[in-house]
């Protein structure tokens, strides 16, 4: 065997070995996340144990984790995270992230939320897009996206930031753990074409006191562009967006700790959502 062939064989063996190691790590990390989710434990900061974990591999872990969850759950939609300048700055990134919404986490208006179901509950006011036509590939522009959207609606997302170490939390940890997806509340549907979503102002009150205000434009500067980014990110990962799925585009204003009390979110022309955390 010539030296060139030996080097080629060695490179191939190294590539296969690396690929198998990545696949094994992805499976193991997904299993670890499933275990903590089922046992309601704090979510491990994977980058502490695996500093080589990158964004691409983190999404593979997320996908494997989601597929394990789907053995007894269903997809209800998809979510964008880190869509505001402030949240990106906090984690030292210049890009948003995406995750999956589960049907088990969907609530209708005025629910009673059990705080014990969370480790560290967070409240986010968001805008949702209701899908009417399937999307299986990236779209070229917002006008193409319009054809697949039936309506928009106010949404309260209740992610769970229950990580073991919030100070050393990295963007790859957030991605791998499905962007902290937990529960969400949906309001009444409105005609998507007749509303200026970017100029919608939302106000969230706790026991009558305002605790957050935001605008539609907080999500990547434009709601429809944020929804388009999410659609394209999700379909590039191999997911298919089905009719009836909800797409939420990121927090308006800031994330609020999920304290006990009665909440009212006023989304202006989009309507409102009320709920209680107990």
User: Does residue 90 register a pLDDT over 90?
Assistant: no
Separation in Å, CA 237 to CA 126, 174, 175, 213: 23, 17, 13, 33
CATH class of 73-277: alpha beta
pTM for the full predicted model: 0.90
Tell me the average pLDDT of the chain.
Answer: 91
On the question of pLDDT at 3 being above 50, the answer is no
Residues 6+ apart with CB under 8 A from 72: none
% of the chain surpassing 90 pLDDT: 84
**How confident is the model over 211-227, as a mean pLDDT?**
97
Per-residue model confidence as pLDDT tens digits over 109-162: 889 999 999 999 999 999 999 999 999 999 999 999 999 999 999 999 999 999
Count of Cβ atoms closer than 10 Å to residue 148 Cβ: 19
pLDDT over 90 (residue 219): yes
Q: Which backbone phi and psi does 131 adopt, to 5 degrees? A: -85, 135
Q: Are 246 and 128 in contact (CB under 8 A)?
A: yes
| Distance (Å, whole) CA 46 – CA 34 | 13
275 token code pair:
């709920």
Helices 55-69 + 3-38 axis angle, to 10: 50
**Which residues sit opposite 273 in a β-bridge?**
265
Chain segment 227-237, per-residue pLDDT in tens: 999 999 999 99
Query: Does an H or E element contain 37, and which?
Result: helix 3-38
With residue 98 as reference, give the H or E element that holds it: strand 97-102
- Residue 106 tokens read as 């969907």
* Residues 256-278 pLDDT 10s: 999 999 999 999 999 999 999 99
Q: Is the pLDDT of residue 20 over 70?
A: no
pLDDT given at position 19:
38
């Amino acid at each position: 065997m010539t030296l060139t062939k030996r080097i080629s064989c060695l490179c191939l063996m190294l590539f296969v070995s690396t690929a198998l190691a990545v696949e094994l790590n992805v499976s193991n990390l997904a299993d670890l996340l499933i275990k903590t989710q089922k046992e309601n434990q704090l979510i491990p900061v994977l980058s502490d144990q695996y500093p080589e974990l990158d964004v691409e591999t983190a999404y593979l872990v997320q996908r494997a984790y989601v597929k394990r969850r789907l053995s007894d759950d269903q997809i209800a939609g998809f979510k964008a995270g880190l869509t505001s300048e402030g949240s990106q700055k906090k984690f030292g990134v210049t890009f948003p992230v995406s995750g999956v919404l589960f049907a088990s986490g969907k609530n209708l208006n005025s629910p009673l939320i059990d705080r014990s179901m969370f480790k560290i509950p967070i409240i986010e006011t968001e805008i949702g897009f209701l899908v009417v036509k399937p999307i299986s590939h990236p779209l070229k522009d917002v006008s193409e996206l319009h054809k697949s959207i039936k309506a928009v609606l106010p949404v309260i997302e209740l992610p769970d930031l229950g990580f073991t170490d919030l100070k050393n939390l990295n963007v790859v940890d957030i991605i791998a753990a499905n962007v902290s997806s937990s529960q969400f509340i949906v309001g009444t549907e409105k005609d998507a074409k007749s509303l200026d979503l970017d100029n919608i102002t939302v106000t969230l009150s706790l026991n009558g006191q305002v605790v957050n205000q935001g605008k539609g434009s907080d999500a990547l500067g434009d709601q429809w562009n944020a929804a388009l980014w999410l659609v394209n990110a999700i379909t590039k990962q191999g997911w298919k967006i089905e009719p009836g799925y909800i797409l939420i585009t990121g927090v308006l204003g800031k994330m609020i700790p999920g304290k006990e009390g009665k909440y009212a979110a006023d989304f202006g022309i989009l309507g409102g959502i009320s709920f209680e955390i107990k």
